[in-house]
A and B are shown apart, each in its own frame.
Chain A
Amino acid sequence: MLIQGQASSPRTAETVLQAHWRHLDRRQSGIKGLLLGATILSCGSVLAILGFLSYFALPIFSEGHLAEILSWEWRPFQGKFGILPMAVGSLSLAVTAMGVAYPLGLGICGFAHGLGPRCLKGPLMGLINFMTSIPTVIYGFVSVIFLVPLVRGAFPESTGYSWLTAALTLSLMILPTIVLLVHAQLQQVDARVRLASAALGFSPAQTLLWVMRPLAFRGLWAAAVLGFSRALGDTIIALMVAGNAPQVPNSLLDSIRTLTSHIALVVATDSTSQAYQSIFASGLILFGVSIAVNLTLRRLQSRAALPATGRHD
């Protein structure tokens, strides 16, 4: 019966199968289309963000406010809307926070890769990983209650809400980013050279200092760039403990305002349209910096094949 049926209509069986395949094909391309749509939506949001920020920053150029925005004084009630002090504030805060966090981070990585006892490596890296989960606002809160009075006590001429306080707090927040990136890079290098350098009679500490360190330099750079951009992008710590005075700081005890906290402050206090323009300009600057950072990381990554772990987290 079966043989008969197949023999009598061989084309029908084939067409049935073909129809089934076509059906499957259509479903596959339908699913692929949906996934592509989702991807375009996700990636398109970057363009949407850039578009909105640019659109709202546009009047700066069309109405010729550029020179006012790029000036050194912020006195909104006298019509002065300069954001350069905030740019300097952001930059100085990020640099000093990196100045504290980067050496600490390198020390910790060195400790985990040969300079310290092996048995402490696990707990130490566990603690560093845990630090990534501490909310930024909690760093800020503890800093306001604990560090600010401490600084005020040590330097009576300061209110405690200062560049110094913010830099110290911020350095704690960006530390895990630096450590995890350098650690991942060292781990890769370690797998390549460990046996060879041990066979040549290097101790673990010597391997790290004279063999691995030169090989991992791209990872060191990437960690510096990423840590810096994290420090630059932070809002809450700067807003809570840096004092927020729109001025170019003269000393570590001065109050400063960053671009990020400037945005938050202007949105919170309902202001004029020109003040709004200044925050969209700030937003564009921050966006531009983050793109520059990404391209730099890409260059470093493409040559050294850095792992994805600890990228932005």
Chain B
Amino acid sequence: MIKKITYLAQACSWLAVLTTVGMILLFLGFLGVRGFDTINPTLFFGNTPPWGAIIGRLPVWHGIWPACVGTVALVLLSSLLAIPLGLASGIYLAHYASGAWKRWFSLAVEVLAGIPSIVMGLFGFALILSLRKTVAPQANTCLLLSAGCLALLVLPYLILMTQTALEALPDELRQAGLSLGFTPWQNMVHVLLPVAGRGILSGVILAVGRAAEDTAVILLTGVVANSGLPSGILDKYEALPFHIFFLAAEARSDAELAQGFGAALILLILTAALFLGAYYLKSTFTKTWDQKNLSI
């Protein structure tokens, strides 16, 4: 009887694995095959001369260049907002907070991590609505607002990764620095942060990847389909994930559909590269410091 159940379980697990791997390969293969041929300068710049487009002199109408620039601007701006805040909060939670306060702060970070991204976008939308009602009747959704909401979205990841990386370090390391006469902050800056650096950096890269791929937040906070390059942080902008979303619904010709495949493949390559970098950093960090959680 036990043997039969074991065989049955083995058969089921093989079935599950083959189904999943099959679906993923089909999925990626489909995207790769249809997208591979579309990747060329025309995909990015349309009929505009590439150099003129890159320096922003000539507008690009039939390419994904403005969307790429928009995504990069969005990611940079939200990193600028989220990284200092996330690192500082992570350090505080790992080494300064204690007792009931630490529990409340951790609960808040976890709640923040669980909020669906569309609700984060709705928050940005509500912010603009109330700004219009009160101090700035001209306020409108824009790049800055999207970056702020994305920063909120990735903030909990940054905090958790910083906190986890610092807490994984052995206590002796902290004590050694302090016993040599470092102040707690000197110890943090010169000993603990450099050692935890790879763990923290992997968190930062993951956060960047999330900010680059999220669509729901920007959908509510100012992304548009055709705006060209963003001219300022208070302007509308284009972004790669929204461009893909838009083309899936609105593509009118095969050329536009092909552009959708190209854009999807570019976005996938971008997030995959970020993921691989983070994965590598994290695994080297774990191998060095987190022996107790290492898989055997």
The residue of chain B having its C-beta at the shortest distance from the C-beta of A146 within the complex is: B30
Choose, from A72-80, A124-132, A216-224, the stretch at the interface: A124-132
Inside 8 A of A287's CB, which chain B residues have their CB? 115, 119
A311 and B155 contact, Cβ closer than 8 Å, known pairs A38-B92, A52-B127, A115-B10: no
Selecting from B43-51, B105-113, B229-237, the interface stretch reads B105-113
- Among the stretches B54-62, B72-80, B169-177, B241-249, the one at the interface with A is B241-249
Contact B108 A138 (CB under 8 A): no
- Asked if B136 is at the interface (CB within 8 A of a chain A CB), the reply is no
Pair B16/A209 contact, Cβ less than 8 Å: no
Choose among A141, A172, A260 the residue with the greatest number of B CB atoms under 10 Å from its CB: A141
Contact of B96 among A36, A52, A103 (CB under 8 A): A36
| CB proximity to A under 8 Å, residues B175-225 | 183-185, 206, 209, 212-216, 219-220
Total contacting residues, chain B, CB less than 8 A: 93
Near B by CB (< 8 A), chain A positions 290-313 give 290-291, 293-294, 297-298, 307-308, 311-313
Which of B23, B84, B109 interacts with A43 by CB under 8 Å? B109
Selecting from A6-14, A27-35, A60-68, A249-257, the interface stretch reads: A27-35
Q: Which of B11-33 contact A (CB under 8 A)?
A: 12-17, 19-21, 23-24, 27, 30-31
A interface size (C-beta, 8 A): 92
**A290-B31 in contact (CB<8A):** no
The reply to whether A49 and B123 contact each other, CB–CB distance below 8 Å, is yes
Q: Contact between B31 and A127 (Cβ–Cβ < 8 Å)?
A: no
The CA-CA distance from A51 to B24 in the complex, in Å, is: 41
Let me know if B119 and A49 touch, CB within 8 A: yes
Q: How far is the CB of B86 from chain A (nearest CB, A)?
A: 7
Give the number of A-B contacts (CB < 8 Å).
263
Option from B23, B116, B212 in Cβ contact (under 8 Å) with A233: B116
B260 CB within 8 Å of chain A:
yes
List chain B residues, Cβ under 8 A from A43.
89, 104-105, 108-109, 112
Q: Are A135 and B6 in contact (CB under 8 A)?
A: no
Instruction: Kindly list chain B residues whose C-beta atoms are within 8 Å of the C-beta of A32.
Output: 92, 96
User: Which residues on A sit within 8 Å (CB–CB) of B117?
Assistant: 233, 235
Please provide the chain A residues from 33 to 51 with a CB less than 8 Å away from any CB of chain B in the complex: 34-36, 38-39, 41-46, 48-49
Q: Are A138 and B31 in contact (CB under 8 A)?
A: yes
Is B42 in the interface zone, CB < 8 Å from A? Answer: no
B157 engages A313 (CB within 8 Å): yes
- B9 and A172 contact, CB distance less than 8 A: no
CA distance A293 to B213 in the complex (A): 24
CA distance A27 to B104 in the complex (A): 26
Check A206 for interface membership: any CB of B closer than 8 A: yes
A53 at the interface (CB under 8 A from B): yes
Check B271–A233 contact: CB distance below 8 A.
no
A108 touches B20 (CB 8 A): yes
Beta-carbon contact of B118 and A264 below 8 Å? yes
Q: Which of B88, B108, B257, B296 contacts A34 (CB 8 A)?
A: B88
List residues of chain A with CB within 8 A of the CB of B19. Answer: 104
Given contacts A137-B242, A139-B27, A206-B6, 13 further A-B contacts (CB under 8 A): A56-B130, A107-B17, A129-B279, A136-B214, A141-B245, A144-B249, A172-B24, A240-B249, A267-B219, A280-B126, A286-B118, A307-B293, A313-B157
